[in-house]
Copies of this chain bind each other. A is one copy, B any other.
């Protein structure tokens, strides 16, 4: 299988390179970067030395790239994928977009939160949270890979929404992400001396992952769910922890909660239910495609605090993209993704 990566020099792109280079059934075809066309990727990222020989190309001839690829991963900022996928509507190539363009059933929601007009509103994209939409992903030509915060937040609570164990109001997701989540662009807020020994929230009440989480929560709850979502910047490279607060419906028991989680996730290779009373840690999933989920019930407040941890670059981006590719092409779903977390 031949895979090409559009936008290979961002953190998600280079993580795709890392994973695909070790994937047993994949060959990396074309890697592109508009700002570094012609450069050697391993020269920019020496950790890839002696393993990735390709030079970066331009995506201008996207039809040619598609013609010699089975799958194209798009790892660009939002607004680009909709142009690329539109052009490739009639190509047989399959596409996994790691950006936000195709994540919303209602393109109006996209336009409202992303402040940009959607240029491909009629595309049929599948939302690629693999564990939840595996069957649709298997048949998809175009998969919208979920956001990092959203994967983490969604997986923590959808079993409880589906089982109708929690209220749909007063849901709060307080999330914390490592600094790779801020991307590779040069900005003051990403400097070592501003991140190290520091911690703060950002994008309060305005972060674009909010409506994406709400869309899936609402779907599983079968009613509209409006949440409060607050991201924070962690002094760490990788990892997201979402601390999710929801009020229990009257009379809900610990046993019912436990059953709901296991009913949905038993058999899922990449989801590890750590159980009640366990606080998952981001380092326990580092550099792997795992999501660890634990929870605590507070009978004093009649609330559940569900916590989930993942690596934002793997299950939160490139790993889930590969997982989706595996499903789309009928490969073993874990292929290329069995690496254990790096600890310590």
B-contacting residues of A (Cβ < 8 Å)? 11, 14, 18, 21-22, 45-51, 170, 172, 174, 176, 179-180, 184, 186-188, 190-202, 204-205, 226-228, 230, 232, 234-239, 241, 243, 245, 247, 269, 272, 274, 279-288, 292, 296-298, 300-301, 303, 305, 307, 309, 338-344
Contact = CB atoms under 8 A, between A and B. Distances in A.
B192 A179 contact: yes
27 contacts: A11-B344, A22-B338, A47-B341, A47-B343, A174-B230, A174-B243, A174-B245, A180-B193, A191-B191, A196-B196, A196-B235, A196-B237, A198-B239, A198-B282, A198-B283, A199-B236, A199-B239, A200-B279, A200-B307, A200-B309, A204-B296, A204-B298, A204-B305, A205-B301, A228-B303, A230-B243, A339-B339
A265 to B, nearest CB: 11
A186 B298 CA distance: 30
B228 A245 contact: yes
Contacts of A282: 197-200
A219 B187 CA distance: 44
A190 B282 CA distance: 16
A18 B193 contact: no
Q: What number of copies of this chain does the assembly contain?
A: 4
Contacts of A193: 11, 179-180, 184, 190, 237, 344
A232 B243 contact: yes
Nearest to A14: B343
Interchain residue pairs A-B with the least CB separation, the first 3:
A193-B344, A205-B298, A198-B283
Given A192-B195, A280-B200, A282-B198, A340 B21 contact: yes
Interface centre among A45, A199, A307 (most CB of B within 10 A): A199
